Structure 1
Amino acid sequence: MDPLEESPWGESAPSQTSQPETSQSQDDAPKPSAPSTSSTRPSRAAPRRMVAQPTRLEAVDDDPLGPLGPLGGPATPGTPDLGQDAPPVPPQKEEMVIRTTMPPSQTRRAGPADPHRVDDADDDYNRSSGPRAPPPVQAAHPSAVRTTTNPSVSVEQASRPTFHISVGDPHKVGDFTSSHVQYAVRTEAYKEPEFEVKRRYRDFLWLYNTLHGNNPGIVVPPPPEKQAVGRFETNFVESRRAALEKMLNKIAAHPTLQLDGDLKLFLESESFNVDIKHKERREPIPTESKGVLGSLGISVGGGSKFVEQDDWFHDRKVYLDALENQLRALLKAMETMVGQRKMMAEAAGDFSASLHALSTVELSPSLSGPLDALSELQLTIRDVYDRQAQQDVLTFGIILEEYIRLIGSVKQAFAQRQKAFYSWHTAESEMQKKKTTQDKLLRQGKSQQDRLNQMGAEVADAERKCHHARMLFEDMGRLMRAELDRFEKEKVEDFKSGVETFLESAVEAQKELIEKWETFLMQLDADDDETVFYRPPVTEGNKPAGADQDGAAAHLGHVLLGSAVRFESLGSFAGVAQPAYR
């Protein structure tokens, strides 16, 4: 603070010594108050008589600690006398300026009251001037609600229907000539909370072909391939059921296919065969040659070979061909591995049967018990190999087969785009022919006005068809780009999930085998314990020969003694005098 305010009379410091201390106090004080003091000091110089003493004394008496608190004490020893060099600067004016300017600066420096510190008013006087340190603030703890809140979704995604489709209960129906497998399709969507319909394989195939014709350029998930041999086997039926369920869920998750009316008909109709017959009469199913292009009156197909003009689509076709070859090779290797697992399971079963047969003919319980336990262990190994082979097919093999079929569906979308390109160029050539004919008629004059009017209408219609074909080709290209990006994202997610499930299954199988082997080894180590392997009690009748030498000698002595007694009794019975043995 300014030393001019150390004494209420202003007689303790001259003007020369007040300047350094005033600059120091200006450094400590806040910036807004310092310039006001220094800038007004020369202009406010006035005669000492203009300040009334009663006002000054009244201010001191009101504040017992002085206008500046503890700093209003005696001056420092090094302060020179007031009247030695020059007359002092009028202190009353400076005092009034300071007293009018310091309280606002102190108020600004104090800031808002801290509820945790009730002695802030006393601390303003007891501590040195300077900015006060802010009170400690605790770090904000993360809210539990924020972590559990689901991320927001767009209005378009929220308005889409949510499907939960399951395919189950496969059972064989029909007689020998018309036997087939029927599946129960359960869906939670549309008008009812849950409903169930019965569908067979050809119904799924109809759905795929219909969606493929209704939505050119979209990659429709295809059903599994048809198989004539072994179609009623348990493993094949289960793998087909899982593939059909995945097909329906992928179709229902597609933003365009889920809005198709044929999907709703497939999932809801109780009389499906009758409904599709009526639908085919009203609206024939679009085929490969008659789709959206055919509905516009544009001829589909072309005789020349298609040359891809877009490098992006060319690179994707090369990539898909290489990916299909690699997936087929991987599927073949996996089928070989699954076959070897099944062979190992059969070998473990044969080994178990041989061990069990050996344990039944073995007389020693100390050997027959471990043999029988090893036989049971081999049966467990057989079951583990069988289960692991089936899980490999259902977890990873089904993904390989699915994406091989999906690549085929992508190639069909490429073929549809190629046909759209042919249709565009065909419509363009037809338009050029019409324009050429119109130009010839115009050169002939106005003698054929009716023919010119007809030709003008034909040219306009040809231009319209050419424009529609061109727009359809470009829209199909943009749609296929989005579909291929979606294909790549789903492929990464599906293969990641399939590989994780495959590894978890393999790890669990190995853990189970390790646990079984460790249990068997513990039983072998504890073979002296009668509770581990059952041993019949040893008696005189079933005690094995040669168990110990003393027992054999005693047994032989009893036999000889018994023979001698019997011989003596026989001799007495025959009347033959026997010599005395004693």
Structure 2
Amino acid sequence: MMGPEAPSGLDPPLPSESSASLPLTSSSPSSSIYHSTVSSNPLLFPSSSSFSSSSSFIDPPSYADAVFRPVEPQNGRNSTSRSSTASSRSGRASTSDYLEITVTDPRKENDYGTSLVPGGSVYFTYHITTRVRVTATAFSVRRRFRDFVTLADRLAESYRGCFIPLRPDKSVVESQVMQKQEFVEHRREALEKYLQRLAAHPVVGRSEELRVFLQEQGKLPLMPTTDVASRMLDGAVRLPWQLFGDRAYGSSAPQEVVQPARGGRDLLRMFKELKQSVSNDWGGTKPLVVEEDKEFLERKERTQELTLQLNATSEQAEELVKAQHDIGETMGELGLALIKLIKLENDEAVHVSQRVGAADTKIVATAAVKASRFYRELNSQTIKHLQETLHEYMGLMLSIRNAFSERSDALLTLQTLLSDLASLHARTERLEAASARVFGRDESRIQRLEEIKKTIIVTEDAKECASREYEKIKENNRNEFERFDKERQDDFLSMLRGLAINQAGYFEKIADVWGTVANETRHYA
């Protein structure tokens, strides 16, 4: 006699265990891709306490039947792997002298010698391994974060006008979080990426500064300009004679003017350039030399617009990543809830139709967990292709802005020197005219005139150095913009193509998952 369940002629056969779950075997070419993540995922491998022994009907879902190999970014700057090379950048492999740069093994050490803290201060050193392209020779050194700061300062002074990658910032809460391993690991990754970007730069990558940092053993000496206290004290000591004397640049080599005044040791020069800057903005007279490169001014304006658009695009990319993350998490929670429902139905099943319904629910639960997995994998690829590339270029915009600032500083220095020369020549003419009107020899006037002429000679030399530095920065800007335009086009095309391929590939697999569910449950229609 038939019970309340559906007629037996309409009951589909129960799915076998082998067809309900396809295990990932060691021979599967994709098993290594997902093994570590799948085995630790509670949605896929719930603990044994979650189900009773009678629920062996519930098997963890497998992805061997639906595997998509993601397209990895071609831009080496987006690579986060320790084994990533410094030069694998969209066909630009030959531009770097380094095959590989890795930063590993953070080690906590104590500084007892120079620290003012009782008992010494704690800091971390990092093991840097480098392989040179030509000889494949490996070098290993240990550096602390202070050494990276020194390297960045040296590069900034030596390659003004270049778009030098920014070094990682020193965290303002470092002393509070230094003991946390995740902070140390985050800094290690950031320092590794920083060195790889430096090595990929066509000029900085071949610099002596970077070679010494990567290959020479021992501590790096601090640059004099990094010591703010000594700069101020030295400037203060020299200030009195500078204020009362006629010489503004006679106490040091003319080559020193190529560095920004704010980083130099001459306080009077800082005051002079500040005065010149105010005169440029508010004075009624035009400086003797101005920025007349129309192409540069147009590029500067376009760069500002590009920065705004990158910020807006990055915000939308973050929204996309968040939305995909939320969908994946929700889909996974749905699968987990359905699995718990299956357990309840299976434990209390009395009729065949109930077990059939549990089997069909299992199909949907498995599909939901599969879809959740694909959304998480898709999201990780979206971050690699879209978000990291955009964030990288936002950082590069800061480097470009620094290069613009260096160009403005060099122009200001040149303007100040030209203004000083005009003032000195005017004083010379006045003294010579006054001497011509006086009978006899005025020794004090003649002495002042000789001192001014000596100052003119020194200032002329300084002006020539400043002019050469300004032209050098302009040339660096031109070369860097050419490289920037080419690499930006390549990187953005790679980013968009990778994004499109991964979106299409993963959504095709998600569609296949749900298409299989629809096919296996078509008898309900």
Pairwise TM-score range, normalised by the shorter structure: 0.5 to 0.7
Match of 1:399 among 389, 400, 405: 389
Residue 159 of structure 1: how far off its partner (Å): 11
Change (3 A) 1:505 1:161: closer
In the other structure, the counterpart of 2:98 is 163
Equivalent residue letter for 1:195: F
Write the deviation string for residues 107-166 of structure 1: whole angstroms up to 9, x where unpaired: xxxxxxxxxxxxxxxxxxxxxxxxxxxxxxxxxxxxxxxxxxxxxxxxxx9998621234
Question: Does the Cα contact within 8 Å between 1:328 and 1:404 map onto a contact in 2?
Answer: yes
Question: Does the Cα contact within 8 Å between 1:296 and 1:465 map onto a contact in 2?
Answer: no
Change (3 A) 1:205 1:331: farther
Tell me how far apart the structure 2 counterparts of residues 365 and 372 of structure 1 sit (CA, whole Å).
10
In the other structure, the counterpart of 1:74 is none
Tell me how far apart the structure 2 counterparts of residues 359 and 181 of structure 1 sit (CA, whole Å).
52
Tell me how far apart the structure 1 counterparts of residues 333 and 448 of structure 2 sit (CA, whole Å).
91
Match of 1:344 among 307, 315, 327: 327
Supply the RMSD in Å over aligned alpha carbons: 4.0
Change (3 A) 1:291 1:441: closer
Change (3 A) 1:186 1:420: same
Tell me how far apart the structure 2 counterparts of residues 158 and 350 of structure 1 sit (CA, whole Å).
44
Q: Confirm whether residue 510 of structure 1 aligns to residue 499 of structure 2.
A: no
Match of 2:300 among 313, 317, 330: 317
Residue 242 of structure 1: how far off its partner (Å): 6.5
Question: Does the Cα contact within 8 Å between 1:352 and 1:378 map onto a contact in 2?
Answer: yes
Residue 168 of structure 1: how far off its partner (Å): 5.5
In the other structure, the counterpart of 1:455 is 452
Equivalent residue letter for 1:459: I
Residue 369 of structure 1: how far off its partner (Å): 1.0
Question: Does the Cα contact within 8 Å between 1:165 and 1:248 map onto a contact in 2?
Answer: no
Residue 455 of structure 1: how far off its partner (Å): 3.0
Tell me how far apart the structure 2 counterparts of residues 281 and 341 of structure 1 sit (CA, whole Å).
50
SS at match of 1:393: helix
In the other structure, the counterpart of 1:221 is 165
Change (3 A) 1:246 1:159: closer
SS at match of 1:251: helix
Tell me how far apart the structure 2 counterparts of residues 170 and 374 of structure 1 sit (CA, whole Å).
45
Equivalent residue letter for 1:351: L
SS at match of 1:187: strand
Change (3 A) 1:410 1:502: same
Residue 243 of structure 1: how far off its partner (Å): 5.9
Tell me how far apart the structure 1 counterparts of residues 514 and 464 of structure 2 sit (CA, whole Å).
74
Write the deviation string for residues 399-446 of structure 1: whole angstroms up to 9, x where unpaired: 111111111111111111111111111111211222222223323055
Tell me how far apart the structure 1 counterparts of residues 182 and 517 of structure 2 sit (CA, whole Å).
33
Residue 471 of structure 1: how far off its partner (Å): 2.8
Instruction: Give the number of aligned pairs.
Output: 364
SS at match of 1:188: strand
Change (3 A) 1:498 1:234: farther
Residue 186 of structure 1: how far off its partner (Å): 3.2
Q: Which has the larger radius of gyration?
A: 1
Question: Does the Cα contact within 8 Å between 1:346 and 1:382 map onto a contact in 2?
Answer: yes
1:254-269 to structure 2, matched below 5 A, reads: 254-269=201-216
SS at match of 2:269: coil
Equivalent residue letter for 2:259: V
In the other structure, the counterpart of 1:251 is 198
Residue 484 of structure 1: how far off its partner (Å): 1.6
Question: Does the Cα contact within 8 Å between 2:160 and 2:406 map onto a contact in 1?
Answer: yes
Structure of greater relative contact order (alpha carbons < 8 Å, 6+ residues apart): 2
Tell me how far apart the structure 2 counterparts of residues 266 and 383 of structure 1 sit (CA, whole Å).
43
Tell me how far apart the structure 2 counterparts of residues 322 and 244 of structure 1 sit (CA, whole Å).
29
Write the deviation string for residues 488-523 of structure 1: whole angstroms up to 9, x where unpaired: 111111111122222222222123223323443454
SS at match of 1:164: strand
Residue 371 of structure 1: how far off its partner (Å): 1.0
Write the deviation string for residues 65-119 of structure 1: whole angstroms up to 9, x where unpaired: xxxxxxxxxxxxxxxxxxxxxxxxxxxxxxxxxxxxxxxxxxxxxxxxxxxxxxx
Question: Does the Cα contact within 8 Å between 1:163 and 1:189 map onto a contact in 2?
Answer: yes
Q: Confirm whether residue 280 of structure 1 aligns to residue 233 of structure 2.
A: no
Change (3 A) 1:383 1:237: farther
Match of 1:369 among 359, 372, 376: 359
Give me the identity figure in percent: 22
Equivalent residue letter for 2:269: S
1:8-87 to structure 2, matched below 5 A, reads: none
Residue 194 of structure 1: how far off its partner (Å): 1.8
Tell me how far apart the structure 2 counterparts of residues 183 and 500 of structure 1 sit (CA, whole Å).
36
Tell me how far apart the structure 2 counterparts of residues 483 and 517 of structure 1 sit (CA, whole Å).
50
Question: Does the Cα contact within 8 Å between 2:410 and 2:469 map onto a contact in 1?
Answer: yes
Change (3 A) 1:375 1:410: same
Q: Confirm whether residue 477 of structure 1 aligns to residue 467 of structure 2.
A: no
Tell me how far apart the structure 2 counterparts of residues 410 and 495 of structure 1 sit (CA, whole Å).
18
1:462-501 to structure 2, matched below 5 A, reads: 462-501=459-498
In the other structure, the counterpart of 1:209 is 153
Change (3 A) 1:309 1:462: same
Tell me how far apart the structure 1 counterparts of residues 378 and 203 of structure 2 sit (CA, whole Å).
38
Change (3 A) 1:516 1:224: farther
Q: Confirm whether residue 421 of structure 1 aligns to residue 414 of structure 2.
A: no
Tell me how far apart the structure 2 counterparts of residues 235 and 365 of structure 1 sit (CA, whole Å).
51
Change (3 A) 1:436 1:381: same
Tell me how far apart the structure 1 counterparts of residues 183 and 519 of structure 2 sit (CA, whole Å).
37
- Gaps spanning 5+ residues in structure 2: where? 1-91, 111-119, 232-255, 282-289
Change (3 A) 1:476 1:267: same
Equivalent residue letter for 1:397: Q
Equivalent residue letter for 1:456: K
In the other structure, the counterpart of 1:355 is 338
SS at match of 1:167: strand
In the other structure, the counterpart of 2:44 is none
Tell me how far apart the structure 1 counterparts of residues 121 and 389 of structure 2 sit (CA, whole Å).
31
In the other structure, the counterpart of 1:299 is 269
Match of 1:412 among 402, 421, 424: 402
Change (3 A) 1:212 1:246: same
TM-score by length of 2: 0.59
